[in-house]
Amino acid sequence: MQFQCDTASRTPIYRQLIDQVRAGVARGRLLPGDRLPSVRQLSRELVVNPNTVARAYTELEREGTLLTQQGRGVFVATPGNDLTKKARRKQLAEKLDLLFVEAVHLGFTSDELLAMVQDRIGQFAFVTEEKDSP
């Protein structure tokens, strides 16, 4: 996966990296067990301070997207979730509402929106079965 950073953006560089890793995982471009470039490699490649890369990795690790194995490198973690289904449902509903607001303002019918969702859903790597979680 190719990372990039844009200093004209209003999103801080470490945030841009976090967003790219999360998007990569969601689209199945990064699979559990895939190894990410080391902090030094990525810092050199993107020409950014290594601490910025380290900060992005640390946050991704904290939320469970990445896993550092001492001496081996940084890997994409196996998806797991500490939040209850109810809490996750609530988070997703909030995001969905934002999408609906946009769709209404852009003048789409609900059927058109559903069709678009159907059309694009295949681009993402969803979990295939319900995980047993609290």
Partner 1 sequence: MTDVIRTFRLTKHYDSRRVVDCLNLRVQRGQVYGFLGRNGAGKSTTIKMLMGMVQPDSGEAELLGEKVSALNPKTRERIAYIAEGHPLYNWMNIGEAVRFGRAFYSNWNDILVEQILDHFELSRKQKLRQLSKGQQAQVSLALAVAPEPELLILDDPTLGLDTVVRRDFLESLIQIIHRKGRTILISSHILGDVERVADRIGIMVDGVLRVDCSTDHFRESVKKLVLDFSGPGPESVDCPGLVNSWTLGSQLELILVGYDEAQRTAVESLQPKNIEIVDLNLEEAFIEYTRGRKRSLPLFAREESRHDQGVDDQGIA
Measured CA to CA, the distance from residue 132 to residue 5 in angstroms comes to: 37
* Binding residue for partner 1, selected from 40, 88, 89, 90, defined by CB under 8 A: 40
Strand 66-69 to 73-76 pairing = antiparallel
Residue 64 to residues 18, 22, 76, Cα–Cα distance (Å):
12, 11, 9
9 touches partner 1 (CB under 8 A): yes
89 touches partner 1 (CB under 8 A): no
Place of tokens 């990064």: 30
10 touches partner 1 (CB under 8 A): yes
Please give the single-letter amino acid code of residue 42. L
- Token pair in block for residue 102: 């946009």
8 touches partner 1 (CB under 8 A): yes
Q: Looking at 46-54, 60-68, 69-77, 100-108, which segment touches partner 1 (CB under 8 A)?
A: 46-54
19 touches partner 1 (CB under 8 A): no
58 touches partner 1 (CB under 8 A): no
Measured CA to CA, the distance from residue 30 to residue 120 in angstroms comes to: 18
- What number of chain residues touch partner 1 (CB under 8 A)? 19
Contact footprint for partner 1 (CB under 8 A): 5, 7-14, 40, 43-44, 46-52
